Amino acid sequence: MPLRLESGYTSLNKKNEELCGDKVEIKRNGKFTTLVLADGLGSGVKANILSTLTSKILCTMVSEDISIFDCVETILQSLPVCKVRGVAYSTFTVIHIDDEGKGYLLEFDNPEAIYYHGGKCCDFAREEMLVCGKKVYKTDLALEEGDVIVTMSDGVIHAGIGMTMNFGWQRGDVKEYLDGAIKPQMSARCIAWLLAAACNDLYLDKPGDDTTVLAVKARAELKVNIMVGPPVDKSKDDFYISRFLSGEGKKVVCGGTSSQIVARYLGTSVRAGFDFPDKDVPPIGYIDGIDLTTEGVLTLRKLLEYSEKYLSVNDLSPKYFTKKDGASLLANVLFEEASDVTFFVGQSINKAHQGLPIDTTMKLKLVESLAHNLKRMGKNVEVFYD
């Protein structure tokens, strides 16, 4: 089964600073993905400029397969020099990896990356390189399914200094925490949030340093087909539904009319749920052979809200969904589990919505916005309109 690479990061700004001195840049080029986490000297505007320049230059050059010697030399010659300290400085971590999990990791003065493999945190074998008088460490990567690379700025290992801890969170403590916290089904985004949120707790919600966690995970492919609304041409219902049901992966139906059509095609019925885990989200239904059945527009609207929070790199609300309402269940399937999402969108006008401020245009806009956000999460997304 082919692997899928997913990534996610969370950043905490130093207290009283509007700008973060850490910067993450991600670029896709052919079958390779390049990710850079840069940490600029100091904090605030200067650090933000240094880290932004470093991450953008490095990400562009590495993704074009330019040698690391040339990349580092360019960085050293490009950064503006601080008048106070007399140096131009930004630490960085680079991951350059293909769709099969093969590539390399480069580290310059950031905390050493953590390798989560076989359900346990361990260390990478690092090769020291001298580039323009600077020590840069290189690691060859060959990720397997379930492996995670956790990279971080030094705000992570400084977490809690003089507050909840005397000497901050040592690297061994971070590994021990992740050993207990990471679950096999967690996405890269969820793992990055988990560690950053723990750091925020140690800082008592007032980070003493910019803190960023970037995680990359190699995971199995999981396709999800989602049907939203009935097709315009009723005579072709069977054709559209057979196409929706074809192939491997999970099947999700959104909307009452769609549910009835799918159930009829499968020779069964829709069983209504009567639980209201969230008063703003209608109850889910049940169809034999379908993984999840939800109401339509109201559930999708809530799902869109969840997707915006999920994507926010500064949001510290949980990135897993434990509630059992339709929007939370759907968020878990699409955000945490899916690697590929295909929407089958029917453009028929729903008679049940007549007289209500709900129309086909609203549904289409919701799907369009959701598809856009899922792509930003790194999912492969297709949308078919019927």
pLDDT above 80 (res 81): no
293 and 163 Cβ atoms separated by less than 8 Å: no
pLDDT score of 154: 92
pLDDT digits (tens, 9 = 90+) for 92-107: 999 999 988 999 999 9
pLDDT digits (tens, 9 = 90+) for 124-137: 999 999 887 888 99
pLDDT score of 187: 95
pLDDT digits (tens, 9 = 90+) for 199-233: 999 999 999 999 999 999 999 999 999 999 888 88
pLDDT above 90 (res 237): no
Quick one: which of 2, 9, 280 has its CA closest to 145?
A: 2
pLDDT score of 190: 96
3-class DSSP state of 145: coil
* Cβ contacts of 158 within 8 Å, gap of 6 or more: 168, 169, 208, 209, 211
pLDDT digits (tens, 9 = 90+) for 138-149: 999 999 999 999
The predicted model gives 229-238 an average pLDDT of 84
For the chain, which domains are there?
3-219 (3.60.40.10), 223-385 (no CATH)
pLDDT score of 89: 81
- 58 vs 73, residue with greater confidence: 58
Which structure tokens are listed for 337?
């589990």
pLDDT band at 359; cut points 50, 70, 90: low
* Cβ contacts of 141 within 8 Å, gap of 6 or more: 95, 97, 101, 102, 103, 104, 105, 149
3-class DSSP state of 162: coil
Strands 292-294 and 250-254: parallel
pLDDT above 80 (res 318): yes
> What does the mean pLDDT of the chain come to?
90
pLDDT score of 61: 96
pLDDT above 90 (res 337): yes
pLDDT digits (tens, 9 = 90+) for 278-310: 888 999 999 999 999 999 999 999 999 999 999
Q: Is the pTM of the predicted complex or chain greater than 0.85?
A: yes
Residues 47, 384: Cα–Cα separation, whole Å: 45
Q: 67 exposed, middle or buried (CB, 10 Å; 0-12, 13-18, 19+)?
A: exposed
pLDDT above 80 (res 357): no
Percentage of the chain beyond pLDDT 70 is: 92
